[in-house]
């Protein structure tokens, strides 16, 4: 059973997704979270890095939309199929999350490319922070690695959670040289297909934020469902198909 060490709601600050907005997150630092509890948190819009479970608590904005893809209903578009084909030769391995020099170097190379291309701020992530955020022991945690069979080097790392009814895509970083092959799209496709093959009905993509270039890719995976409001632990979460739930706001 989960043990809560801390519960904090941030003071408003400039939003990292939409610079003209103010943002705040609600955080719960939790230990000993079970697979079932992880699934319940995901269904209520919570995301996690290590022991930190968080979701928006913005004072005057509701543009962050918790998004999930029904795996049985999903059909890739033509461009998504091209991305899958472009990355088809990569070896894929599902393992427990690991921290080593190869992964650290890959993360920093990827983030440096984002800083140059998209104006991201620097992210001086050291080994300790990487271990806390991405490899802290958790019963649902998995890592999908993409390996170039020619060089035997890892070219992509996807951190995810897997439960009986939910596959949560947490974070993905990759060799910038593979951006031209649309490896980001191929990664989402693989996780949808892997979840479907395991009988998992939903792939959780985190927050869709229309107007944020870095998150624009999420809107291209359809059909998708959006969470209505921010339900409490004693409330039943309601998810609606996109046609029934406009993406402009996360409102009851």
Mean pLDDT of 95-107: 97
Whether 28 contacts 6, CB under 8 Å: yes
C-alpha distances in angstroms, 78 versus 64, 82, 241?
28, 6, 22
- The per-residue pLDDT for range 15-71, each reduced to its tens digit, is 989 989 999 999 999 999 999 999 999 999 999 999 999 999 998 999 999 999 999
> Which pLDDT score, from 0 to 100, does residue 213 have?
85
Report the C-alpha dihedral over residues 56, 57, 61, 65, rounded to 10 degrees: 30
What pLDDT sits at residue 249? Answer: 47
What would be the CATH architecture of the domain defined by 3-244?
Answer: 3-Layer(aba) Sandwich (3.40)
Reply yes or no on whether the pLDDT at 163 is more than 80.
yes
Residue 4 is predicted with a pLDDT of: 97
pLDDT of amino acid 66? 97
CA distance 214 to 218: 9
Q: Rounded mean pLDDT of 142-147?
A: 98
Inform me whether the pLDDT recorded for 194 exceeds 50.
Answer: yes
Between helix 183-197 and helix 78-86 the angle, nearest 10°, is 100
Q: How far apart are CA 167 and CA 154, in angstroms?
A: 22
Query: Is the pLDDT confidence value at 245 over 60?
Result: no
Rounded CA separation 134/124 (Å): 15
**pLDDT, tens only, 109-130:** 999 998 888 777 777 789 999 9
State how far the Cα of 195 lies from the Cα of 134, in Å rounded to an integer: 20
Q: What is the pLDDT of residue 248?
A: 47
Residue 156 contacts residue 146 (beta carbons within 8 Å): yes
DSSP string for residues in 163-201: ETTEEEEEEEEE-GGGGGGTHHHHHHHHHHHHHHHTT--
The model's pTM is: 0.93
Question: Residues 166-184: pLDDT tens digits?
Answer: 999 999 999 999 999 999 9
Query: Can you give the pLDDT at residue 133?
Result: 96
């Amino acid at each position: 059973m989960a043990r809560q060490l801390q519960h904090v709601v941030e003071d408003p600050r400039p939003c990292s997704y939409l610079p003209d907005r103010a943002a705040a997150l609600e955080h719960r630092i939790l230990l000993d979270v079970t697979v079932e509890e992880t699934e319940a948190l995901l269904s209520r819009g919570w995301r996690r890095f290590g022991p930190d479970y968080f979701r928006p608590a913005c004072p005057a904005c509701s543009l962050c939309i918790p998004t999930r893809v029904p795996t049985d209903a999903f059909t890739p578009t033509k461009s998504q199929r091209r991305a899958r084909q472009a990355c088809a030769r990569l070896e894929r391995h599902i393992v427990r999350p690991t921290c080593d020099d190869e992964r650290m170097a890959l993360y920093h190379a990827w983030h440096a490319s984002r800083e140059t291309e998209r104006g991201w701020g620097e992210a001086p992530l050291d080994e300790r922070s990487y271990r806390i955020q991405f490899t802290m022991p958790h019963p649902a945690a998995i890592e999908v690695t993409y390996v170039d069979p020619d060089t035997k080097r890892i070219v992509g790392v996807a951190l995810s959670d897997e439960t009986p009814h939910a596959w949560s895509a947490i974070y993905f970083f990759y060799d910038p040289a593979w951006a031209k092959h649309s490896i980001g799209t191929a990664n989402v496709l693989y996780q949808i297909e892997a979840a479907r093959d395991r009988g998992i009905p939903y792939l959780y993509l985190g927050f869709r934020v229309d107007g944020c270039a870095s998150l624009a890719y999420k809107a291209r995976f359809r059909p998708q469902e959006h969470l209505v409001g921010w339900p409490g632990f004693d409330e039943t979460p309601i998810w609606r198909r996109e046609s029934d739930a406009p993406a402009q706001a996360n409102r009851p």
